[in-house]
């Protein structure tokens, strides 16, 4: 057969008859160009983003709804209905479970990305509390609280089983970290390249901290000559740490050592379509960020979008 022909095989539902259909190069469909900007529902007010395959999941800080978006076609649908409470930082595990930081309600929940069912809810703290972001490690989900100098640990059981509410613990932060009253402090969170510690960003001071998960002891991540003020979402990809600086309209790129004790800024990423991006997730070879538009007064008709950029 001509090597320029592509062969598709179709198996009938009622037997094993195979039909061969030849498709010429002229009939073949070109690769679809991925959209650089994807619209979200008007008034959605996105904050967190997580990705799995070609899909992104976004939470609304206004209503708590979770939106599922196809990053190839740009089409979206509601996965989980409004809760009346915020949905902020998001992460997805390999079992298709979406971990959602609950903001001012001081809690978190876990949502099935296939059905939208709430699998578990975890109350952490009463007001004042602002559960902002989450990272998943091998043995736990870790959440930051922007109003309190603690991390919340939700431990996984055997085969990643979700724990009972009374298994959740608070890990107070000690050492170099200092809480500033009446403002947003802890924000994004990631793990270190060696997986032995955590990294958090303090938005108001611009510091990155390495946290010992066993003790809560913190040390400043040594990144000479750079401040991460307005630091929001964090994403670690290998030894590269992406730090979203929301009101600066940029992602700062840091090369970390394996232990996460020091790093070097290697560049920054920005885009004309950024409008106060908050968090970042990677999919299809690109970085995706929701525009939170904090400097725009939200209305039910205010437009919101996801912006894609090439990683460093």
Encode the chain (312 residues) as per-residue pLDDT tens digits.
443 333 333 333 333 333 333 333 444 445 679 999 999 999 999 999 999 999 999 999 999 999 999 999 999 999 999 999 999 999 999 999 999 999 999 999 999 999 999 999 999 999 999 999 999 999 999 999 999 999 999 999 999 999 999 999 999 999 999 999 999 999 999 999 999 999 999 999 999 999 999 999 999 999 999 999 999 999 999 999 999 999 999 999 999 999 999 999 999 999 999 999 999 999 999 999 999 999 999 999 999 999 999 998
Q: What is the pLDDT of residue 10?
A: 35
Give the ranges where the chain is alpha helix by DSSP (H). Answer: none
Yes or no: say if 173 and 183 are a contact pair by the CB < 8 Å rule. Answer: no
DSSP class of residue 190 equals E
Q: What is the pLDDT of residue 18?
A: 33
Q: How far is CA 147 from the centre of its chain?
A: 20
Q: What is the pLDDT of residue 32?
A: 75
Distances (CA, A) of 218 to 5, 110, 134, 150, 215: 61, 28, 18, 11, 9
Picking from 309, 91, 262, the residue whose alpha carbon sits closest to that of residue 188 is: 91
Q: State the CB neighbour count (10 A cutoff) for residue 6.
A: 12
Q: What are phi and psi of 160, to 5 degrees?
A: 80, 15
Buried b (16+ CB within 10 A) or exposed e, 79-109: bbeebebbbbbbbbbeeebbbbbbbbbbbbb
- DSSP SS3 for 105: coil
305/35 Cα distance (integer angstroms): 11
148/131 Cα distance (integer angstroms): 9
- Give me 49's structure tokens: 């983003």
- Give me 182's structure tokens: 């009446």
Q: What is the pLDDT of residue 31?
A: 62
Distances (CA, A) of 300 to 43, 62, 106, 163, 303: 4, 10, 25, 37, 9
62/71 Cα distance (integer angstroms): 23
Q: What are phi and psi of 295, to 5 degrees?
A: -85, 0
163/297 Cα distance (integer angstroms): 39
């Amino acid at each position: 057969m001509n090597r320029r022909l592509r062969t598709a095989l179709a198996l009938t539902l009622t037997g094993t008859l195979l039909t061969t259909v030849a498709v010429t190069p002229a009939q073949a469909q070109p690769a679809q160009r991925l959209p650089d900007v994807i619209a979200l529902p008007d008034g959605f007010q996105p904050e967190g983003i997580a990705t799995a395959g070609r899909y992104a999941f976004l939470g609304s800080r206004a209503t708590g709804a979770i939106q599922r978006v196809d990053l190839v076609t740009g089409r979206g649908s509601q996965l989980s209905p409004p809760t009346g409470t915020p949905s902020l930082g998001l992460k997805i595990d390999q079992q298709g479970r979406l971990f959602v930081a609950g903001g001012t309600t001081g809690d978190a929940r876990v949502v099935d990305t296939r059905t939208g069912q709430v699998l578990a809810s975890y109350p952490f703290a009463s007001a004042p509390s602002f559960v902002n972001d989450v990272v998943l490690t091998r043995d736990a989900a870790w959440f930051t609280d922007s109003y309190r100098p603690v991390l919340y640990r939700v431990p996984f059981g055997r085969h990643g089983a979700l724990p009972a509410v009374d298994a959740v613990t608070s890990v107070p932060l000690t050492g170099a970290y200092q809480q500033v009253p009446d403002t947003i402090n802890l924000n994004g969170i990631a793990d270190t390249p060696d997986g032995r510690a955590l990294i958090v960003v303090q938005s108001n001071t611009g510091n990155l901290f390495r946290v010992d998960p066993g003790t809560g002891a913190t040390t400043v991540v040594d990144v000479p000559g750079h401040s991460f003020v307005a630091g929001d979402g964090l994403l670690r990809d290998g030894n590269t740490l992406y730090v979203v600086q929301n009101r600066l309209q940029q992602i700062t790129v840091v090369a970390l050592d394996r232990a996460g004790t020091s790093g070097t800024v290697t560049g920054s990423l920005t885009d004309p379509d950024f409008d106060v991006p908050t968090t970042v997730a990677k999919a299809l070879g690109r970085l995706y960020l929701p525009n939170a538009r904090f400097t725009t007064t939200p209305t039910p008709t205010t437009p919101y979008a996801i912006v894609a950029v090439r990683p460093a």
